[in-house]
Structure 1
């Protein structure tokens, strides 16, 4: 997977198009990511030990990986891979810079 936890991404399709956020988690099996402040849903929760009050909670829902793009220096870019010595590193296609 080319997007990792902690990356900054921009939404390119859907109701939150053109919004930016940080990746909170990645679901490899289903090709979905949870992005901070994107695809917010309201969830009705029962009272429990952690949340004594219960009620309506706003939280992020997963968004498909194909609907987000990596944000590098304020611009979206595709990601490729390159061998740096004996190590495989991510590379921004637009600038050719090593990402990590």
Structure 2
């Protein structure tokens, strides 16, 4: 039987959301979330926090190379951009018309 403490917390971001970085080296940049690592509370955002990765030589790539790719960024440094106002907004959850919990923008009050 699973314990309630074993269940990961719900996050304010999802794959496909447009977010703005609010702190760190990439502060002010925006991008779309490509992947969310729930257990580590980190996300990969398109075009943000670019790192250099060393690729080992292989049969397909005998020389090896240096590859630029997106690094992970902690979700506390990300803020969802409200599609209605096109500005970053805090996120809440409330029941919609059908009685299902849905995310909404605290700035405009619109569902996301």
Query: Could you state the TM-score of these two structures normalised by the residue count of structure 1?
Result: 0.91
Name the counterpart of 1:60. 70
Listed as ranges, the matches of 1:25-40 within 5 Å are 25-40=35-50
1:20 is aligned to 2:9: no
1:94 is aligned to 2:107: yes
Segments of structure 1 that go 5 or more residues without pairing to the other structure are: none
Root mean square deviation, CA, Å? 1.4
Q: Separation in 2 of the partners of 1:88 and 1:51?
A: 48
Choose between structure 1 and 2: higher strand proportion: 1
Aligned residues: 99
| Per-residue deviation, 1:88 | 1.0
Deviates more, 1:52-61 or 1:62-71: 52-61
Query: Could you state the TM-score of these two structures normalised by the residue count of structure 2?
Result: 0.82
Name the counterpart of 1:78. 90
Q: Aligned with 1:76: secondary structure? A: coil
Segments of structure 2 that go 5 or more residues without pairing to the other structure are: 1-10
Which structure has the greater CA radius of gyration?
Answer: 2
